[in-house]
Amino acid sequence: MAAKKLIVGNWKMNPKSRREASRIWEKISKGVSRFKKINMVVCPPFPFLPLLKGKMQLGAQNIFFEKEGAYTGEVSPPMLKSLGVGYVIVGHSERRALGDTEDIVNKKLKAALSSGLTPILCVGERERDLHSHYLHLVKDQLKSALKGIQKNKIGKIVIAYEPVWAIGKSAKGVLDADEALHMNIFIRKVISDIAGEGTARKIKVLYGGSVDVKNSAEFLRVGKMDGLLVGRESLSPKNFLEIIRNANTL
Ligand code: PGA
């Protein structure tokens, strides 16, 4: 049987209230159990995590790399584990823009793995250039994020390819599915060089960046992605469930 597709909803800093968060969550949870070929994870903001505990898998949008101590405002991996969180997004471009350096991303990745959380490592270029420099950039991001991580642990990481220019409301466009396939192959080649062919074959690669009801299935079918990281559309239960329904038919 083919592996289940991993569909991750990243709510970012939305919605504004716990009431609204519960409302969205309830609608999604009611609809999702029908889709047996999908593994769904929702990543709400930290304060909503305890409200949404239950039937579905939860992810966090960030973590700190220390377990406890005098780090005002930070949230540790064991805290997330104690709330039943299974996944955590690391290295999202919006966090990188707020100061997460390659070194911090590497530390967060290690901290997530050693606490038994599944990290979703985001990589992606700011823009596409004619000389394919963006490929080097993605390669460098992967190399520095994975530095010092044991080869047998690398296969546990989920990689999300998110071209920054295709993310969010101000996206300059959407990647086409053929380009997604090229990047999928490229990422696996880099992983193969770092951790061997076996890991490269089994590691999950997701696509993220303006995924919607219309384009989602193509990234999975043509781009051969193992799943999707969905931002805006994951806040609309109707559209998110439609994306999941489409993925379930493949
Ligand atoms: P978007 O966000 O789907 O709203 O483009 C994706 C992401 O940032 O993970």
Distance of CA 56 to the CA centre of its chain: 16
* pLDDT at residue 1 tops 70: no
Helix axes 102-114, 133-146, angle to 10 degrees: 50
Average pLDDT over residues 185-199: 97
Q: Is the CB of 239 under 6 A from ligand 1?
A: no
How many residues in the chain? 250
Task: Evaluate: CB of 174 within 6 angstroms of ligand 1.
Answer: no
- Mutation pick for ligand 1 pocket among 95, 120, 210 (CB with most ligand atoms within 8 Å): 210
- Gap from CA of 203 to ligand 1 centroid (Å): 21
**From CA 28, how far away is CA 55, in angstroms rounded?**
11
Q: Does 182 qualify as catalytic in the annotation?
A: no
163 close to ligand 1 (CB < 6 Angstrom): no
Rounded mean pLDDT of 211-235? 97
Interhelix angle 18-32/237-248, nearest 10 degrees: 30
pTM: 0.96
**Average pLDDT, stretch 78-104?**
97
Mean pLDDT of the residues in the chain: 94
> Residue 84: its pLDDT value, please?
94
Q: What is the pLDDT of residue 34?
A: 85
In tens, the pLDDT along 34-46 reads 898 999 999 999 9
Running DSSP on this structure, what letter comes out for residue 230?
E
- pLDDT of 137 reads 95
Instruction: Please pick, among 26, 66, 74, 92, the residue that the annotation labels catalytic.
Output: 92
Cβ–ligand 1 distance for 230 under 6 Å, the answer yes
Strand partners, 228: 7, 207
User: What tens digit of pLDDT does each residue of 140-189 get?
Assistant: 999 999 999 999 999 999 999 999 999 987 777 889 999 999 999 999 99
| Active-site residue flag, 133 | no
pLDDT beyond 90 at 229: yes
User: Which residues have a Cβ under 8 Å from the Cβ of 67 and sit 6 or more positions away?
Assistant: 76, 77, 78, 111, 115
Q: How far is CA 150 from CA 2, 13, 87, 140, 192, in A?
A: 27, 33, 19, 18, 14
Q: What is the structure's pLDDT at 2?
A: 75
Closest atom, ligand 1, to C-alpha of 94: 8
Confidence band for 129, pLDDT divided at 50, 70 and 90: confident
115-125 average pLDDT score: 97
- Over pLDDT 90: what percentage of the chain? 88
Q: What percent of the chain has pLDDT over 70?
A: 99
